[in-house]
Amino acid sequence: MSGGSYYVPDQSRFPIFMAFSLFLLVMGASSTINNLDDPTSNSVYILYTGFACLFLTLFFWFRQVIKEHLAGLDSNQLKQSYVYGMAWFIFSEVMFFAAFFGALFYVRTFAVPWLAGDGAKGGAITAIELWPAFESAWPVMTTPDQGNEYDLAKKSMAWPGWNHALQWLPLWNTIVLLSSSWTVHLAHLGLKKGNRKKFNAYLGVTVLLALIFVGLQALEYYEAYAHYGLTLNSGIYGSTFFMLTGFHGFHVMMGGIMLAVMLARSVFAGHFEQHDHFGFEAASWYWHFVDVVWLMLFLFVYIL
């Protein structure tokens, strides 16, 4: 399994299972979104199958890695590769969200002003001729083409003012997520000091806060659809809003599951030692990343 100081893993089918699971997940997600208005579409079942395959692959793959670690098969080189692997994974997630924030920046800074005739682009002149009454504003609560293709929102999810701040769900989501970042840090400090009781307590609070965040976001989505008329079909504002907040909510669920698994390993199996706990440490890195992304979302999607 290893030669000298360099770790050579055994042959494994898990990578090909993961590739197949991700293929199903991506195809199912894209097909489901494209067929939202088709009640006869079965795309959602492909999406569910992709999720099931993904979680089963992760479960058995990580179980194998944990068994190897507990058996003392890890080398220093392998442990270092875990660090690099998690760092590159988080970097790929940074690029993932950078693409969506870039799309939001382009729409707000260039596309919408051009449609209103601003700027020196030739398309701005055409836009004035086609849609002379369109005005540049964000959030875009109307569309240049007033057909039946879009369900226009009646109200945006933007900052409602200090008089209604306490009823504004994004503010409470921010408080919850920032609090969870602090509690996971306290859990880490407890583990590094060998205080398992403190570690379990603060990690349990973190998992609970993750569940609260997801619940509040579900309530926010209900409010958007039922009371604000804001849907995925509400033009570019609806598309960018649900794209950014929806993907972030999915990452919160992923991070919450990671931390819940770490909590279960600690409580039921006594895993993680004072100087040997990279599994939890990697999950905490991911959770802090999710918190930073939310702060950017809160600023650029809700406030500005």
The pLDDT of 151-168, averaged and rounded, is: 79
Q: For a pLDDT cut of 70, what percent of the chain falls above it?
A: 88
Question: Over 60: is that where the pLDDT of 46 sits?
Answer: yes
Confidence at residue 116, expressed as pLDDT on a 0 to 100 scale: 74
pLDDT confidence of residue 1: 45
Q: Say what the pLDDT of residue 3 is.
A: 46
Per-residue pLDDT of 242-263, as tens digits, reads 999 999 999 999 999 999 999 9
Contacts of 125 (CB under 8 A, 6+ apart): 117
Residue 148 above 60 pLDDT?
Answer: no
The pLDDT value recorded for residue 256 is 95
- Mean pLDDT, all residues of the chain: 87
Domain ranges of the chain: 11-68, 78-303
- Of the two residues 135 and 207, the one the predictor is more confident about is 207
What value does the mean pLDDT take over residues 277-292?
94
Task: Report pLDDT digits (tens) over 164-219.
Answer: 888 889 999 999 999 999 999 999 999 999 999 999 999 999 999 999 999 999 99
Between the two ends of the chain, the Cα-to-Cα distance in Å is: 54
Q: Give the tens place of pLDDT for each residue, 15-29.
A: 999 999 999 999 998
pLDDT, greater one: 2 or 147 = 147
CA distance 21 to 43: 15
Phi, psi of 114 (to 5 degrees): -65, -40
Mean pLDDT of 149-165: 75
How much is the pTM? 0.85
pLDDT at 121: 54
Torsion (CA) 66, 260, 191, 205 in degrees, nearest 10:
180
Alpha-helical (H) ranges within the chain are: 14-34, 43-70, 76-106, 112-115, 122-130, 169-192, 196-223, 235-269, 278-297
pLDDT of 58 higher than 80: yes
For residues 142-146, average pLDDT: 63
Q: Does residue 192 or residue 236 have the better pLDDT?
A: 192
Label residues 146-159 b or e (16+ Cβ within 10 Å = b): eeeebebbeebbbe
Task: Tell me the fold of 78-303.
Answer: Four Helix Bundle (Hemerythrin (Met), subunit A) (1.20.120)
**Do residues 85 and 91 make contact, with C-beta atoms less than 8 angstroms apart?**
no
Of the CA atoms within 13 Å of residue 106, those in its CB half-sphere come to: 8
